[in-house]
Every structure is written in structure tokens, then in C-alpha cells.
A and B are shown apart, each in its own frame.
Chain A
């Protein structure tokens, strides 16, 4: 037992699958989180994020596959034996204990003498000192969430699992807590696995982001890489926005593939597409695109659309354009030009980009 509790090192999941009676919640998932790093698990509701965390915590046992911390195989061990703590999605505070007793619960179980003092320090960290004597039912959702964070943090576990720990907070407090969590994580050097719906939160906080969909990891990597070069259509849509259109590869041109999209000829760098022939989904990020009233000179990398909406945001202007197929592309243009492009809904316009920014992914369903 001490063996499990003393486990140290990278968190590693090897081919972990979780099957509920009639539902595959996590499907052959493998990942490695380096010790002391901040790992974010991003994905839509019901994609298996909580289930994955529960298997790391020991609250659920994988149907197949193994869970390691360092060299210690934790598979099959009980939750209380693992050096892992969870901030539950539903907070799960003990209703019969005061806030201070809630936070002191873990230290007390580990027979730490100054449990209450540790609890007070943790409460200070999440700015909840003044509520220490209250019961959970007397707190708001956001306050309970911060207590839940304190209750897990106070133990300084080898791996801290945070299941949407900031979901109930207002924007300001959310930003503060993000900074605070990040600070604690770097200072204490804990491994954080942070589940969130919020891609911005994932990208600002994490060293590595994994995008999950239907029980599988679609793509994993540093936030910049994930944003710059999505490998699947799902990731392209889930992490930031993407303008996409189905196309057909017609040939090559040096380091570039040439494709037909919406009747235009476009180029994609060969190392920026997961498909090298046949049909593909072409994509480019809204802020990489410029609009123009006239067809630009030169070779391709432009498509034509009808302006549907123009909104001036101050730092930028955002355009919505309807493509020939009926899908909508958006353009996010910084107001750098001296004279503004005077486009109105209903106008015809061209969208132009640098070929190096384009990416290509497989048409969903065609991938193996």
C-alpha cells in the first residue's frame, strides 16, 4: 500500500478502455503526462473526460489497459492508496463538515499533525478564509468550487485531477483562479490534469492539450501546434474557429499540393495536410484571411463569397461570407489598412490568404 502512495513520476495511461454495460466511454486511450507538467483534456460533453480522470483516481477500473505513475502500476489499486486527488465536477464537499474540516479531511487521514493549519493556508490560497466556519450548503456554487480546489490542493498529491474546476466562476474570478492554479502548479511542481470545455482556458494554462472526442484522443500537443496545425476536422473546429471546405487534390507544385475548393485553385504545403491525394477538407483560420473587393492578381489561394455580415469590433472587423456551397466562412481582419474596405451585406468579395497558413485534413468518416 505504501508502495502505491509513494509512486512518483510521469502519469502514463496504456491502451486504457472503459466499457459500461452498453457503452464504450473510453476507447483504447494512451497518453503520457510528464511529471510536473500541466496537461489539459479538452472535449465536448460526454466524450469521456470524467471517466478518464476517474480511472486515474481509482474510482473506476479500466476494462482493459493499465495506469502508471512512474514505474508503479496503479491498475486495480483503491482510490485511497493512490497519491492522486480529485477536484470533482460536482464539488462533492462533505455536507456535514465545515469548510475548514472539509479541507483538513485529507491531511487528517494521512495523520498530519497540523491538519487544521494546512487547511487554513489552503483556504487562504483560494480566498475563502472568511468562510472557514460555514457548512457547504451555505456557500454559492463558485465558492464551493474554490473549496473543492483547496481540499484537493492541500494534499500536494503526485497527480492532481481537476474536473472542470472553474466552471461555476465568473470571468474575473476565473482568470484569477487560472493564474493561481498555474502558479501553484509551477511552484509546487505537481502534475495537473485539467479537464475543461473551455479551449481558451486549456490553451492559456496547459503545456500540453489533448483534444478528446467519443472516447478517443484526436490530437495531443502544445497549444500553439494544436492551433496552428489541426490534424482532424474535429480539432480544427473545436480548437478555435476554422474556415473549411471540401475539395479535391488535382496535382502538386513543388512543396505544395494543389486542390480545387469552391471552384478556386488553392495550395497547401505537403507537410500541412494529412491527405496527399483524393478528397480532403481544406481549412484556414479566420485571422489568416483578408478580404478584398476585387479578384487579386497572381496564383490562387483565394475564394469568392457573398458578404452576409460585417461587424466592426474596434480592434478588428469581422466578416461573415457565404460560400457557393452554402457554408459560412468568417474573416477576422485587424484594421491595419488606412482606408477601410467598404463592404456591405450582399456584396461580392474575395478572400485571400498566404498558402503557408492553409491546412488539409481528412473528410470525417473516411479516416480509418
Chain B
């Protein structure tokens, strides 16, 4: 050993190694740079600006004009005036997430385990809606759920609709949200089921668990990372959505997204309130997601 060491010029390999890691670090930085610049320019900067706006105050007597301030009253006002809107946002988004899960899980399960050669086709069907615009598809739903549409006519024929309408009710909004975010629920659940080792599921049967018990104790827990991702991908955008409410919902009883939209675009001098609402919404979602992941998260995701 020592003889060998004496003969080799030791610093060379070490120096080479160091050079290598430093080069790698530089490379990583260069690769990340465009993304970081993009993020800084188009996300962090506007976010900061939004935060600043959320603390501005109005010039009395000049609607539409503000001055820089630290007006935390905006937040208090946003919360007190629009608490019901927040509640609706989270309530509707929660329901839509629930329904999307109920619809998506069997679909994803069938795609992963039962579809056989139809799997590709089913996948295309799940993704196909993305080829038309979100707005257009939501408009299509306003037709489907319209009073003259076949759904309402059919239900009314059997006197199953107490109010005789679906369009312009919360039901239509939740239906729209569920529909629009369904693929975001299906795909991660499918991915996690697809990745599950068939032998592991068989092991459940081999160890005395019947079909349902195997599902409950093996398959479902193994797909939890997908369920978690799917519910987040559905709930987060649904809670901030305003298009479904705008196109399918009632005139009164809007969601936070609509208020923000109105405050920004139609109410003169609404900027600070809109900004404060945006920030509150973001914070609320972050907290909810954090609690949710803490409660149900698996190690892989946290």
C-alpha cells in the first residue's frame, strides 16, 4: 500500500475530482438560470407588486387613485365583507374534489388493471378535452345543463328536480368544476396504480385477503400518493376558479375568484381589495394544503 502511495503523484486525482464537482455545480447553475430568471421576472416580481398594492390606500375623492401605504385594513375588510365567498370557494372546491375523486378512482383503476388493449384509447379520452379551450367546454356545459337541455328535461319529466333548474345554481358550478378538473384527478391516480407492482397486490390475495380487503389494505394505500396529488391538483385551482361560476353559476352568491375578478376589472378603486383577497386566498390554500398533506401525506410527498 505505502509503496504504491509513494509512487503515485497523489494530488492529481483529488484535484481532478474537485474540478469535476465545481464544473458540475456551474453546469447546474447554468441550466437553472433561464428558469430562475423567468420565475423572478414573471412570478416573484408581480407577486411583490401585488403585495404592495394590497396595502395601498385610496386618495379620498379620487376614485381609481391610490397611494403607497401599509393599510392592513384592506385585509380586514376583505375578510369581513367576503367571508361567505371564501366559504363558498372552499365548499364548492371541496365538493368538486370529492366528486372528481369518486368518478376518477374507478376510471383510473379500470385503466390500470382492466382495460387491456383499450387502455390507450381510454387515456386519449381522458386527455382529449384539453384539445379544446377551457372556456369553450364550460360554455358547452351551460348548454348541457340549460333548462331546454335533455338533462333537465329528463329529470323534470320524472319530477326529480325540486327547483326545475340546474343552470345558474351552485349544482351547475360544482358540476362544471368537477368536469373541468377531472383529468387532473385521473392522471396521478392512474400513474400510481400503474406503478404498483401486480405481484404485491397478488401477495394480498395469497395472504388470505379477499378482493375487497386486498383493495382496502393494499391497493388503495399504495395509490395514496396519486390520490394526494390528484386532490391537490383539483382542489387548488378549483378554489381559485371564477370561470365556472361566471358561466354556470347564479347571479348572487359568487366565489372569491369572481370577487377578485370584479374588483380588479369593474369596481373603480378595487385594486387594493382585490390584491388583499388574492393574498388571503393564497395563504388560506397554502394552510389548508399544508394541514392536508400533514394529515394524509406519505413520506414520498412531504
A66-116 with Cβ < 8 A to chain B: 78-80, 84-86, 88, 90, 92-97, 105-106, 109-110
The answer to the question of B262 belonging to the interface, with a C-beta cut-off of 8 Å to chain A, is no
User: How many Cβ-Cβ contacts under 8 Å join chain A to chain B?
Assistant: 61
Which residues of chain B are within 8 angstroms of A88 by Cβ–Cβ distance? Answer: 199, 202-203
Q: How far is A339 from B197 in the complex, measured between Cα atoms in Å?
A: 61
Q: Could you tell me the distance in whole angstroms from the C-beta of B301 to the nearest C-beta in chain A?
A: 13
A-B pairs with lowest CB-CB distance, top 7 = A109-B208, A79-B205, A92-B199, A106-B207, A92-B203, A96-B221, A92-B200
Closest B residue to A1 by beta carbon equals: B210
Task: Determine whether the beta carbon of A93 is less than 8 Å from that of B200.
Answer: yes
The answer to the question of A16 belonging to the interface, with a C-beta cut-off of 8 Å to chain B, is no
Q: Give the interface residue-count category, chain B.
A: 20 to 34
Q: How far is A319 from B122 in the complex, measured between Cα atoms in Å?
A: 64
Which residues of chain B are within 8 angstroms of A90 by Cβ–Cβ distance? Answer: 197, 199
Residues of A within 8 A of B (CB): 57-59, 78-80, 84-86, 88, 90, 92-97, 105-106, 109-110, 151, 155
Q: Could you tell me the distance in whole angstroms from the C-beta of A160 to the nearest C-beta in chain B?
A: 11
Task: Determine whether the beta carbon of B205 is less than 8 Å from that of A80.
Answer: yes
Which residues of chain B are within 8 angstroms of A92 by Cβ–Cβ distance? Answer: 197, 199-200, 202-203
The answer to the question of B171 belonging to the interface, with a C-beta cut-off of 8 Å to chain A, is no
The answer to the question of B49 belonging to the interface, with a C-beta cut-off of 8 Å to chain A, is no
Q: How far is A105 from B213 in the complex, measured between Cα atoms in Å?
A: 11
Given A106-B208, A109-B208, A110-B208, also A94-B200 (CB < 8 A): yes
Which residues of chain B are within 8 angstroms of A106 by Cβ–Cβ distance? Answer: 207-208
Task: Determine whether the beta carbon of B207 is less than 8 Å from that of A155.
Answer: yes
Task: Determine whether the beta carbon of B213 is less than 8 Å from that of A109.
Answer: yes
Task: Determine whether the beta carbon of B207 is less than 8 Å from that of A85.
Answer: yes
Task: Determine whether the beta carbon of A86 is less than 8 Å from that of B200.
Answer: no
Task: Determine whether the beta carbon of A86 is less than 8 Å from that of B213.
Answer: no
Q: How far is A80 from B207 in the complex, measured between Cα atoms in Å?
A: 6
Which residues of chain A are within 8 angstroms of B206 by Cβ–Cβ distance? Answer: 57, 59, 79-80, 84-86
Task: Determine whether the beta carbon of A80 is less than 8 Å from that of B197.
Answer: no
Q: How far is A152 from B206 in the complex, measured between Cα atoms in Å?
A: 9
Q: How far is A84 from B208 in the complex, measured between Cα atoms in Å?
A: 9
Which residues of chain A are within 8 angstroms of B202 by Cβ–Cβ distance? Answer: 59, 79, 88, 92
Q: Could you tell me the distance in whole angstroms from the C-beta of A112 to the nearest C-beta in chain B?
A: 10
B185-242 with Cβ < 8 A to chain A: 197, 199-200, 202-210, 213-214, 217-218, 221-222, 224
The answer to the question of B298 belonging to the interface, with a C-beta cut-off of 8 Å to chain A, is yes
Which residues of chain B are within 8 angstroms of A59 by Cβ–Cβ distance? Answer: 202, 205-206
Q: How far is A57 from B202 in the complex, measured between Cα atoms in Å?
A: 10
> What are 6 A-B contacts defined by CB distance under 8 Å?
A79-B202, A79-B206, A80-B208, A86-B203, A92-B202, A155-B207
Given A86-B206, A90-B197, A92-B202, 17 other A-B residues pairs in contact with their CB atoms under 8 A:
A58-B205, A59-B206, A78-B210, A80-B206, A85-B206, A92-B197, A92-B199, A93-B203, A94-B200, A94-B203, A94-B222, A95-B200, A96-B224, A105-B207, A109-B209, A109-B213, A155-B208
Which residues of chain A are within 8 angstroms of B200 by Cβ–Cβ distance? Answer: 92-95
Q: How far is A151 from B197 in the complex, measured between Cα atoms in Å?
A: 17
Which residues of chain A are within 8 angstroms of B197 by Cβ–Cβ distance? Answer: 90, 92
Interface centre among A57, A58, A105 (most CB of B within 10 A): A105
Which residues of chain A are within 8 angstroms of B213 by Cβ–Cβ distance? Answer: 109
Task: Determine whether the beta carbon of B218 is less than 8 Å from that of A94.
Answer: yes
Which residues of chain A are within 8 angstroms of B217 by Cβ–Cβ distance? Answer: 105
Task: Determine whether the beta carbon of A109 is less than 8 Å from that of B221.
Answer: no
Which residues of chain A are within 8 angstroms of B199 by Cβ–Cβ distance? Answer: 88, 90, 92
